[in-house]
Amino acid sequence: MLNSIIGTKIGMTRIFDKIGNMIPVTVVSVKPNVITAVRTKEKDGYTAVRLGYGEIDEKKVNRPDMGFFKKNNLPVKKYQLEFRTADISGLQTGQEVKLDIFKAGEYVDVAGTSKGKGFAGTVKRHGFAGGVITHGQSDRQRSPGSIGSQGFQRVIKGLRMAGHLGHEKVTIQHLEIAEVDPEKSVILIKGAVPGVNNDIVVISKTVKRVKVKREAAPAKKEKKGAAKSAKK
């Protein structure tokens, strides 16, 4: 069974529940994904499914990929991602995967590429506190400070310093699905999702344990004798 799908982040909006509480949601457009390949344990050594997503002009596709699509009579897709799955029964090349594999109330993990913020210092990138404004150090508030002893005479690998911030793969786990609209091919996910608008995201069923929501127990009625003693 396939538990993942590729979509496009549209942006954020808000909806209201039955009581009137406002819920911030991210709108993700999920057009049908096409299975472009099925990996089997006998042939490939593992079981997985490769999904194709997004429209693209055939002139922009390289020859190896174009030959693969034509050989298997598949529609040309812009993106292809592979997902491991233990059960591939009933899945075949050319089959469409739609967002009806999800339903409202389920929890998912959403992966995407975070927004790039360019070159950033240690305060913004790693949350350093910076220096104090004392003893004439009026221009050292956001300085990283010392990077260690002089014994190594070099910068130790992995040291937290200034550098490029953002534009990396980020996964946010355990987000609840607020609504699924198959007619508009749209899914609403509570909270924020990584990435810029119109960028692709991967939605997968959560790997975390889902806690069952319990309804609040009705308040117990006080006994008549207890109420009278309370009044006295």
Would you say the CATH fold of 117-165 matches that of 4-116+168-231?
no
Question: CB-based burial of residue 170 (10 Å sphere; 0-12 exposed, 13-18 middle, 19+ buried)?
Answer: middle
Tell me the C-alpha distance between 38 and 46, whole Å: 10
With bands split at pLDDT 50, 70 and 90, how would you rate the model's confidence at 135? confident
pLDDT in tens, 35-47: 999 999 999 999 9
Place of tokens 């959403």: 110
With bands split at pLDDT 50, 70 and 90, how would you rate the model's confidence at 215? low
Classify domain 117-165 by CATH number. Answer: 4.10.960.10
Higher model confidence: residue 155 or residue 30? Answer: 30
Structural domain boundaries in the chain: 4-116+168-231, 117-165
Higher model confidence: residue 103 or residue 223? Answer: 103
With bands split at pLDDT 50, 70 and 90, how would you rate the model's confidence at 216? low
Return the HEC string of the chain.
CCCEEEEEEEEEEEEECCCCCEEEEEEEECCCEEEEEEECHHHHCCCEEEEEECCCCHHHCCHHHHHHHHHCCCCCCCEEEEEECCCCCCCCCCCEECHHHCCCCCEEEEEEECCCCEEECHHHHHCCCCCCCCCCCCCCCCCCCCCCCCCCCCCCCCCCCCEEECCCEEEEEEEEEEEEECCCCEEEEECCCCCCCCCEEEEEECCCCCCCCCCCCCCCCCCHHHHHHHHC
- Rounded to two decimals, the pTM is 0.80
pLDDT in tens, 52-93: 999 999 999 999 999 999 999 999 999 999 999 988 888 999
Tell me the C-alpha distance between 201 and 191, whole Å: 14
Place of tokens 């609504």: 179
Per-residue pLDDT, 158: 87
Place of tokens 């210092």: 121
Instruction: Please report, as a single letter, which amino acid is at residue 175.
Output: L
For domain 4-116+168-231, the question of CATH label 2.40.30.10 is answered with: yes
> pLDDT exceeding 90 applies to what percent of the chain?
66
- On whether the CB atoms of residues 25 and 186 are closer than 8 A, the answer is no
